[in-house]
Amino acid sequence: MDYRRYKPEDFDALYAIEESCFQPPLRFGRRYMRWLADAPNSATWIAEGAGVMAGFAIVEWTPSIRGLSAYIQTIELLSAYRGQGVGRELLQRIEGSARAAGASTLWLHVDATNQAAIQLYASHGFLAVGEEKNYYASGRDALIYRKALTEQVQD
């Protein structure tokens, strides 16, 4: 598997994965997804093998009262590539991009029933810090996970 940064000509293949992974109303719209992938305050990583896009991940960073904060917008894989370490590598890549941008924290929402994703984030040092009821849809709750990317200085 090869990993590289997103290029605008990747968008159609990237959005095809979005359509494969999510059904309305849970799917990002094309315009919003393109905006995320192209935003100057984000990084989009592509995983591909044998000329086929297997998955992608997007992280976005914004200023906050405690410095720069990064948010994992999405990590998506075609079903044939799940369980092979591709998601793990994409997570490492977007975390590296968030660190390089100067983010002090990285956070995300994850479907409370998505045990594979929850296990992935926990194994990478993310801690559960909250829950948001009906985040994805009525009856579909999200857990909120956070990871410090910089050491906090104690007085």
- 100 near 91, Cβ under 8 Å? no
- The CATH fold assigned to 2-148 is Aminopeptidase (3.40.630)
Give the lowest-confidence range in 7-16, 88-97, 102-111, 129-138: 129-138
pLDDT for position 139: 85
pLDDT for position 64: 81
7-21 pLDDT, tens digit per residue, is: 999 999 999 999 999
Distance from C-alpha of 10 to C-alpha of 111, rounded to nearest angstrom: 27
pLDDT for position 151: 63
pLDDT for position 153: 43
Averaged pLDDT of the chain: 93
Where exactly are the structural domains of the chain? 2-148
- 149 near 97, Cβ under 8 Å? no
- CB atoms under 10 Å from CB of 5, counted, come to 11
- 116 near 79, Cβ under 8 Å? no
| Helix, strand, coil share of the chain (percent; to 5) | 35, 40, 25
38-87 pLDDT, tens digit per residue, is: 999 999 999 999 889 999 999 999 998 878 999 999 999 999 999 999 99
Q: What separation in angstroms does the CA of 141 have from each of 24, 41, 61, 97, 129? A: 17, 27, 24, 28, 14
